[in-house]
Amino acid sequence: MIAFEELLAVAYRKERMQSRRLARGAAISEHAALVRTLEKAAGEQSLRDLVDARRAAQTRNAESMRSRETRRAERANQAKQRKVQVETGGWRGWFDGSALPNPGRLGIGGVLIGPAGETFEISNASGVGDSSAAEYLALIAVLEAASREGAVDLVIHGDSRVVIDDVNSPDGATIASLTHHAARVRALIAQIGDVRLQWIPRARNLRADALSRDALGSARATAAAA
């Protein structure tokens, strides 16, 4: 007789439940009840043939699952490597602008980081205007710094949808008062080459935001001293 553990390993859940009911109802051992249940499932083939066929199917399923897990792990590793290559192989920038009040005095902030970790920060007062002008001026400052440093493969992040959407618009700038800023941005992007603008939430743009606000604070302190 085939061992009880071997039968349990290939029996389906429904068959195990049926055999337990049979064992209680017929007052026989669970082993004997499982043998009867599986012999009925086997039909014309022998119980041994049924067990062998199911064990082979389990082996194939296990191998298929391992293969899928291996492929999934390989894809995840490749994606991770691509992400690392993007993060370490290119230049990254962040920009933000502040107006106090709005419209009012403008402060711009920016960060530019190279592939070797070299970091450049921008924090300047930039006249008067509204918040959109401040954002544009901050973006221009980051692009100008990138151009001076010979940056390539540049991704610039900002939390201003107005500016990013305006620059990416195929029809050109949609805000008449900012047309000259948009033209300057597009000229710098054409000069640098591979530049991508990416929107991020304000919570992920804290350093550039702080630099833009610092610029306003410095300008106010200078004015007060004068």
Q: Are residues 45 and 107 in the same domain?
A: no
| CATH number of the CATH domain containing 177 | 3.30.420.10
Q: Are residues 110 and 211 in the same domain?
A: yes
Which comes out higher in pLDDT, residue 82 or 161? 161
Q: Using the 3D structure, point to which of 86, 104, 121 is the last residue of a domain.
A: 86
Q: What is the mean pLDDT of residues 203-213?
A: 96
Q: What is the mean pLDDT of residues 80-95?
A: 71
The pTM (predicted TM-score) of the whole model is 0.60
What is the structure's pLDDT at 84?
Answer: 52
pLDDT of 78 strictly over 80:
no
Q: Are residues 132 and 219 in the same domain?
A: yes
Cβ(178)–Cβ(219) below 8 Å? no
Q: Are residues 61 and 137 in the same domain?
A: no
Going by pLDDT thresholds of 50, 70 and 90, the confidence category of residue 76 is confident
Going by pLDDT thresholds of 50, 70 and 90, the confidence category of residue 142 is very high
Cβ(122)–Cβ(85) below 8 Å? no
pLDDT of 153 strictly over 60:
yes
What is the structure's pLDDT at 175?
Answer: 74
Q: Are residues 119 and 59 in the same domain?
A: no
What is the structure's pLDDT at 224?
Answer: 46
Q: What is the mean pLDDT of residues 141-149?
A: 97
Q: What does pLDDT average to over the chain? A: 90
Q: Using the 3D structure, point to which of 17, 52, 86 is the last residue of a domain.
A: 86
Q: Are residues 45 and 147 in the same domain?
A: no
What is the structure's pLDDT at 83?
Answer: 59
Q: Are residues 203 and 113 in the same domain?
A: yes
What is the structure's pLDDT at 169?
Answer: 80
pLDDT of 72 strictly over 80:
yes
Q: Using the 3D structure, point to which of 86, 104, 125 is the last residue of a domain.
A: 86
Q: Are residues 16 and 76 in the same domain?
A: yes
pLDDT of 222 strictly over 70:
no
Q: Are residues 60 and 118 in the same domain?
A: no
